Structure formats: structure tokens, C-alpha cells
Amino acid sequence: MYYTYVLVSKKDEKQYIGWTDDLRHRVDQHNKGLVNATKNRRPLTLEYYEACRSKSKAIAREKYFKTGFGRRYLKNRF
């Protein structure tokens, strides 16, 4: 399985959207400061995720979440 996920920084309340094939490991990497995009925004909480059967669908979902429509969708989810 592949996952598209949304993290929210407790420091600045901003979202980070990504995809992975190992959700627990990836969230752990973010919170340990091993991901450049989020290392200065820790701690992060996992706010939302979706499971996809293919890598291409997870990437497509990530791209959608980064659009205006996708951000509106996420806003309505939490």
C-alpha cells in the first residue's frame, strides 16, 4: 500500500503534504528532523491520510491536495 498524508506543524500550524509506502516510518522521520522540508517545523502531527493501491494514485492524490480544490477538501475534513 501507498499513503498520501497530511502533517500539521504544532510550531506554525502549517500543513505538509506528502506520500510514502511506510506511513509510520515516514512520520517518525519527519519528527526526528530527517526531512529537510519539515525539520524546522517540528513537532508535527499526522492529521489525515489515505491509503492507495498504487504509487501513481498516491502521487496523484498528493498533487490534488496541493491545489486550491484539494486544500478546500482537506479543510472540510478536519
Summarised one tens digit per residue, pLDDT across range 6-39 is: 999 999 999 999 999 999 999 999 999 999 999 9
Summarised one tens digit per residue, pLDDT across range 40-65 is: 999 999 999 999 999 999 999 999 99
* Measured CA distances, 75 to 4, 24, 78 (Å): 16, 23, 6
**DSSP 3-state assignment of 33?**
coil
Domain architecture of the chain: domains with CATH: 2-68 (3.40.1440.10)
